[in-house]
Chain A
Amino acid sequence: MPQLEVRNLVKRYGKTVAVDDLSFTVEPGRVTGFLGPNGSGKTTTMRALLGLLRPSAGDALVDGQPPVAMGDPLRTIGAALEATAFHPGRNGRNHLRSLAAAADIPRSRVEEVLEMVELSGAPAKRRVKGYSLGMRQRLALAAALLGEPRILILDEPANGLDPQGMRWLRDLLREQAAGGRTVLVSSHLLSEVSQTADDLVVIRDGKLVSQGSLAELTASARSMLRVRATNLDELAAALREAGAGVESEDGGALLVGGLDGERIGDLALGRGIAIHELAPQQASLEDRFFELMGDGESGGGGEGE
């Protein structure tokens, strides 16, 4: 059974549809990247998985049950949602202490997580008001880790982290997944996720665009062949006739999709065209991402985030 499951989830705010019939699963032992532009419904979906908002339709399930039914919540799910959700007048340590008290977590664990996120010592005694964005992110992560939960749900945890912090975060996520935990981490930046994630769930406008392993997604990126030849116009026409997708590239070459090299060579030979170059063009994950996101990315999805 998947530890996190979203099944036909719909969330409406008035007339705006923030999440639209979304379904996906998140498996333990892997880092799942939750990718989509700002406003695509990532935060809304995560909040539904945490029981903070009720779906308009469909289900958000933890261990096959609605999150409200969770026993021992902080040891089941740890979440970091927003880096701003602290009382500005309370210091970091006391924020964690108040949460620890709610789940009978010993105070020594508070010190432990403060140490882990490098906020022990003076920063722990400082009121959150005086924290940088990076420090707030780390405090939010400390709160998520407090109960040593089986499942981690992190919303844009890399925002505001310096490169060192990003690296630390990546290692942490990998380590958590390696320990058999379930990790769902959202981002609007592909580069961030592609370095950590095993699986990707890609959404846009509250709808699922794609789910799969990072390797599958890269492999499914359409591969093209770059062709240079003596009579490009004639070759292009012949290729189109044979059902290929053809684009002209600057500098006298064609990008051909949907036909393999053999067929292209045969077609050229049949028309007496000499081929000068025939090379595979592997699309990057980034190309694939933009392909999935379509053109003219506008965000959309309303107030979901």
Chain B
Amino acid sequence: MKLAKSEWVKLWTTRTTWTMLGIGLLLEALFAGLFTGLVSAGELDTMEEIATGTGLLMVLMLVLGVLVITTEFRHGTASSTFLASPKRYPVLLAKLGIALLVGTLAGLAFFVVNGGLAMPLFEGRTGRLPSAGDLAAVYSGVIVSFALLCAFGFGIGAIVRNQVGAIIAAIAFFFIVSSLPELLPGSIGEYFPAQALGALHGWEEGDGTLNQVGGGLVLAAWAAALTAIGTALICRRDVSD
């Protein structure tokens, strides 16, 4: 708990976190408003349109997760962090917790912005609202996905350590490499992050067999595995910068 508090202080005492979340939510509001406001009313029928604008935030979540660990190595603060806790795995657990928390909070902020803006527009133009069940499914999928994306980025960051390298690796692996198995026959692709994210969101038309919970579990397993590898590596490696 002490370590989590320390990480919490670190997270909010640089401008990076505020800027990223601020810009992400602002653009989200813009996209959601424009899209729901401008697309022809007849096409406003799927949940996908409601969730417009998550794309950028998803990338930002991945990056934020990467930053939670890589800034320590980039600026050499890892030394003082591990002086306060020479046992390193508790620090990494605390950081993972903070990554999940900040992702969840960003998801909630998305819910507030999107719900507050896109919903009234949607209702105003179509004269109806999606069912409460659909809405709950979409928004909870988004919130959980944000948290898991942060954790996924964190795992990659812990393995790669180099900030720029880790950001590139996380984005490339998540959005490009891991979507390649979709092209393979069978359902292997469902067990890779990109398609699992689709299943977790649940609003996309997919031919997958995983439901939202299944998609969430696959994504969580990836995040957990990457974090475990990253933690093992950081516990072994020298901290000399």
Residue of B nearest to A43 (CB): B240
Given contacts A98-B6, A98-B10, contact A52 B84 (CB under 8 A): no
Q: Write the B1-22 contact mask toward A (1 if CB under 8 angstroms, else 0).
A: 0110111111001111000000
> Is there contact, CB below 8 Å, between A73 and B83?
yes
Distance in Å: Cβ of B6 to nearest Cβ of chain A = 4
Q: With A and B bound together, what is the CA distance between A143 and B3 in angstroms?
A: 16
Contact across chains for A90 and B13 when beta carbons are under 8 A apart: yes
| Count of A interface residues, CB-CB < 8 Å | 33
Q: Are A47 and B239 in contact (CB under 8 A)?
A: yes
Complex partner residue of B85 from A47, A85, A87, A102, CB under 8 angstroms: A102
User: Which of B6, B77, B86 has most chain A Cβ within 10 Å?
Assistant: B86
A87 & B14 in contact (Cβ 8 Å cutoff)? yes
Query: A99 at interface (Cβ–Cβ under 8 A)?
Result: yes
A82 contacts chain B at the CB level, 8 A cutoff: yes
A82 to B77, CA, bound (A): 10
Q: How many A-B residue pairs have CB under 8 A?
A: 87
User: Is B71 interfacial (CB-CB < 8 Å)?
Assistant: yes
In the complex, residue of chain B having the shortest beta-carbon distance to the beta carbon of A97: B9
Q: Which residues of chain A have C-beta atoms less than 8 A from B239's C-beta?
A: 47, 52-53
Least distance between B81 CB and chain A CB atoms (Å): 8
Contact: B84 with A102, CB < 8 Å? Answer: yes
Q: Is the interface of B mostly helix, strand, loop or mixed?
A: helix
**Residue of B2, B9, B77 most packed against chain A (CB within 10 A):** B9
Asked if residues B86 and A68 are in contact (CB atoms below 8 Å), the reply is yes
Question: Chain A residues near B81 (CB, 8 Å)?
Answer: 102
- In the complex the two chains form, is A84's CB within 8 Å of B76's CB? yes
Contact assessment for B2 and A104 in the assembled complex, using a CB-CB cutoff below 8 Å:
yes
Q: Are A79 and B2 in contact, with the CB atoms below 8 A? A: no
Beyond A52-B238, A84-B76, whether A101 also contacts B83 by CB under 8 A is no
Binding site for A on B (CB under 8 A): 2-3, 5-10, 13-16, 71, 75-77, 79-87, 236, 238-240
Which A residues lie at the B interface, using CB under 8 A? 44, 47, 50-54, 67-68, 70, 73-74, 77, 79, 81-82, 84-91, 94, 97-99, 101-104, 143
Write 15 A-B pairs (CB below 8 A) sorted by A numbering: A50-B83, A50-B86, A52-B240, A68-B87, A73-B83, A82-B76, A85-B77, A87-B14, A88-B75, A89-B15, A91-B13, A97-B9, A97-B13, A101-B6, A101-B9
3 pairs of A and B residues whose beta carbons are closest in the complex: A85-B76, A53-B238, A102-B6
Taking A68-B87, A86-B76, A97-B9 as given, write out 5 further A-B residue pairs in contact, using a Cβ cutoff of 8 Å, ordered by the A residue number. A52-B240, A73-B84, A87-B71, A89-B14, A104-B2
